[in-house]
Structure 1
Amino acid sequence: MMSERPDGPWDPGLQIERTTLAWLRTTLAFVVGLLVLLRLIGHESALAALICALLTLPLGLAISWLVWRRHLHSERRLRERAPLPGAALPAAVTALAVLAGGAGLAYVLFS
């Protein structure tokens, strides 16, 4: 008895799901790190913590939405054998990393 092979060069769901989970773990790690940083900054200045929260936490939520959207688009495009999505998600994660790093640096330098 032969095992069934997927109709295409990929196994439906596995590669896309692993990539989506990796992006979600990355986003979650950034958001948790930012929450810890906000707690530290909050002891020094409530205004600075509020500004940092208003800049970074909505970006974390937007990245989570981009991850899910990219997952759906990737799955559909693979089935249609179309090009995969662009670089909006990596650019958003880079922006979040720069903002988180800048906030951490500001905390170290000014506290």
Structure 2
Amino acid sequence: MNAPRDPGLQPERTELSWRRTLLSLAVAALVSVRVLPPVLGDWTVLTGLLGVLLAAVLGLLARRRHALVDAVFRGRAPATAMPGGALLLGVALLTTAGAALGLLAAVLPHAR
């Protein structure tokens, strides 16, 4: 028989960690709206706002992931309902795209 789930604060810490990560991504996207247009052009405003939107979508996915994991741990859902790595992949892609734009902004003025 499986031991009951530890009622500690680990699930709440994990959810707060996801919130902090996604808030950081949203803030970085908003900063890019202010910093990148003079260097790379006005189209970067759209990419920054898209980054904020994607951070919000990933936030919703993080809440859904937390609810699924909680349901599995409490025995209300089968273990096969555990979420995969889509959330982590989304955060990695958003971070990589932001880093690429930042590097482009840093290198482009020196290339002239």
Note whether the superposition's TM-score is higher than 0.5.
yes
TM-score range, shorter chain: 0.7 to 0.9
TM-score normalised by the chain length of structure 1:
0.80
Name 1:36's counterpart in structure 2. Answer: 31
Following TM superposition, the consecutive aligned residue runs of length 4 or more in structure 1 with deviations greater than 6 angstroms are none
Offset at 1:56?
1.8
Question: How is 1:1-111 mapped onto 2 (pairs within 5 angstroms)?
Answer: 8-11=4-7, 14-80=9-75, 82-83=79-80, 84-111=82-109
Q: Distance in 1 between matches of 2:5 and 2:50?
A: 41
Identity %: 30
TM-score calculated relative to the size of structure 2: 0.79
Measure, in 1, the Cα distance between the counterparts of 2:85 and 2:73: 17
Kindly state the Cα deviation for residue 45 of structure 1 after the two structures are TM-superposed.
4.9
The number of equivalent residue pairs is 104
Amino acid at match of 2:86: A
Q: Which structure has more RCO (C-alpha within 8 Å, separation ≥ 6)? A: 1
Distance 1:47 1:94 in 2: 25
CA distance in 1, matches of 2:43, 2:104: 10
- Counterpart contact for 1:52–1:103, Cα < 8 Å: no
